[in-house]
Amino acid sequence: MKFGVVTFPGSNCDQDMIDALRNDLNQEVIHLWHKDKDLSMFTTDDCILLPGGFSYGDYLRCGAIAKFSPMMQSVIEFANKGGKVIGVCNGFQILCEAGLLPGVLLQNQNQQFVCKNVFIKSENPTASISKDVTGRPLMIPVAHGEGRYYADKATIDELFANNQVIFRYCDEFGNIIEDANPNGALENIAGICNKERNVFGMMPHPERATSFMLGNTDGQLIFQSLINNN
């Protein structure tokens, strides 16, 4: 399984993602530039990652301009063919803007940037990215000002009915409670997938929790679940 990591103008977590995958998880990683289009080196067994940051300065809306980049047009085609795509933080915002995932990420409820460790839990045993960590609280950092997941009631109901919610904010014991929600996201939603379960978006940063030197390797478990269930 190969990973491609896209860099947009304003990306600031691309090198973190590359380092985590290459050095902590021993995976093959290819760096992709936003102006390029070629994804011919990848098969549908591989994965493209959209990292965190402030693509195109977050002008208009977070991710609104990035969706028009040449590389994103190729990423959309790749996803529509069944290739795996993960968007983390700003990458999640881009996936929603591009229509690959439903809903939108709004300004945090407290209107402040939040940067801290939080706990998330998956109740989704069907998605490859969460299959091996279902029911287990994971400590993963967040760093965002616009991470409040929102969609209309019909969409939220559909996400739960189709088992498309992959991660929810919880406390350290796995209880999904309001006090554990760092941004006011509806239903404590921290990550979702599409109906086909090959496109994943999440606000927390698993790439920042893969090193023993940082005292936290819970992020490795998320990537390893994806690799194990490819």
Our answer to whether residue 89 is catalytic in this structure is yes
Q: Check: CB of residue 165 under 8 Å from CB of residue 124.
A: yes
Residue 16 CB contacts under 8 Å (≥ 6 apart), including other chains: 51, 205, 207, 208
Q: Which residue has the tokens 């002008």?
A: 59
3-state secondary structure of 35: coil
Cα separations (Å) of 178 from 40, 161, 216?
A: 44, 22, 24
- DSSP secondary-structure letter at 122? B
Side-chain-side CA neighbours of 64 within 13 Å: the count stands at: 9
CA distance 141 to 214: 11
Residue 111 CB contacts under 8 Å (≥ 6 apart), including other chains: none
Q: Which two tokens stand for residue 80?
A: 């529509």
CA distance 155 to 81: 24
Catalytic residue among 89, 96, 170, 193: 89
DSSP E strand stretches across the chain: 2-7, 28-33, 47-50, 84-88, 104-106, 114-121, 138-144, 148-150, 165-170, 189-193, 199-202
> What are the catalytic residues?
89, 205, 207
